[in-house]
Amino acid sequence: MIPLWLPLTVISAFALATSDALTKKALAGHNEYLVSWLRLLPALPIFLIPLLFLPIPVLEPDFYFCVFSSLPLEALAVILYTKALKLSPLNLTLPLLSLTPLLLLVIPFLLLGERISYLGAAGILLIAAGGYLLNIRRGQGGGLAPLRAIVSEKGSLCMLCVAAIYSFTSTLGKRAIAASSPLFFAACYIPLLVLLISPLALYKGKGELRQMAQNGTIRASALPALFYLIQVVTHVYAINLTNVAYMIAVKRLSLLFGVLYGRYLFREQGGLMATMIMLAGVFLIVIGG
């Protein structure tokens, strides 16, 4: 029997990759801070309305600690993520997210006491190796080419920072969910994240918001926001059902979808063979986790 967290995670991965691709199209010629904000803003009422009807769980101090520790990091990751999509091709930025599960070999054990199996660890290593190989075609430096690409591609460097940040926010998020509930956590966390990003986005995008409203960019942001909403909801339920490292590693199926979007929407060349290595890692996680 397929565990429930697996289809939820695959849906989350597809929704994330779709939101990324649609966001990249909306980014052309626009301020990344403002577009990051617009990616979240349409989902705000959908998260706030359930708060009127959800039973409020008894909240322990750990909930507040995890939420308010994660929020500044999450805001930084959202900005860096969108900047990476704007600066560099999808197939040079998204694969670096495969490093997040690698970091999650350690961080959930330290913060949650979660242990993973040998097969699960092997799967995570395969996913990280696939992400590395997706960049190996860059330049003439052989095996060192991906490292040089990180240095030369600003978008890749931004996404590397995002990968590190997500390893902490994913773990802290699961702790907050355990101290409340998946839907209550999402309904609190996303509006607070929008509130935190709003001043910076409006300041950086001053003078551009009216132009974006007139040329249809704000209207176009509704679709990536919808897919972002889907990935958030499926994410919080899936991560509550299994180990953080397993769920985040399988969610990196978004890399496969991202490479396909990069190839067919933006004419980028992607390493599908390396992505298949990642899928082999996902298989090991599913059978060994």
Q: What token pair was written down for 6?
A: 């697996």
CB atoms within 10 A of CB 261: 23
| Stretch (H or E) spanning 240 | none
Confidence band of 140 (pLDDT split at 50, 70, 90): very low
Mean pLDDT of 49-68: 87
Mean pLDDT of 10-23: 90
Q: Using CA atoms, how far apart are residues 215 and 197, in angstroms rounded to an integer?
A: 23
pLDDT digits (tens, 9 = 90+) for 248-285: 888 888 877 877 777 766 565 556 677 788 888 888 88
CB atoms within 10 A of CB 209: 17
pTM across the whole model: 0.83
* Structural contact between residues 93 and 158, judged by C-beta atoms closer than 8 angstroms: yes
CB atoms within 10 A of CB 24: 23
| Window from 33-37, 55-59, 186-190, 281-285 with minimum mean pLDDT | 33-37
What is residue 48's predicted lDDT score, i.e. its pLDDT?
A: 85
Per the prediction, the chain carries an average pLDDT of 82
| Residue 159 domain boundaries | 5-288
Alpha helix stretches (DSSP H) within 221-271: 222-239, 244-251, 254-265
Q: What token pair was written down for 75?
A: 């805001």
Residue 60 is given by DSSP the state P
Mean pLDDT of 213-239: 84
Q: Is 165 exposed, middle or buried (0-12, 13-18, 19+ CB in 10 A)?
A: buried
Which phi and psi (to 5°) does residue 279 adopt? -65, -35
The tally of domains found in the chain comes to 1
* Structural contact between residues 160 and 130, judged by C-beta atoms closer than 8 angstroms: no
Q: Using CA atoms, how far apart are residues 17 and 88, in angstroms rounded to an integer?
A: 15
Which phi and psi (to 5°) does residue 281 adopt? -65, -40
CB atoms within 10 A of CB 280: 15
pLDDT digits (tens, 9 = 90+) for 82-129: 888 778 776 677 777 778 888 888 898 888 888 888 888 998 888 878
Mean pLDDT of 237-241: 93
What is residue 227's predicted lDDT score, i.e. its pLDDT?
A: 92
Angle at 215 between CA 210 and CA 218, to 5 degrees: 70
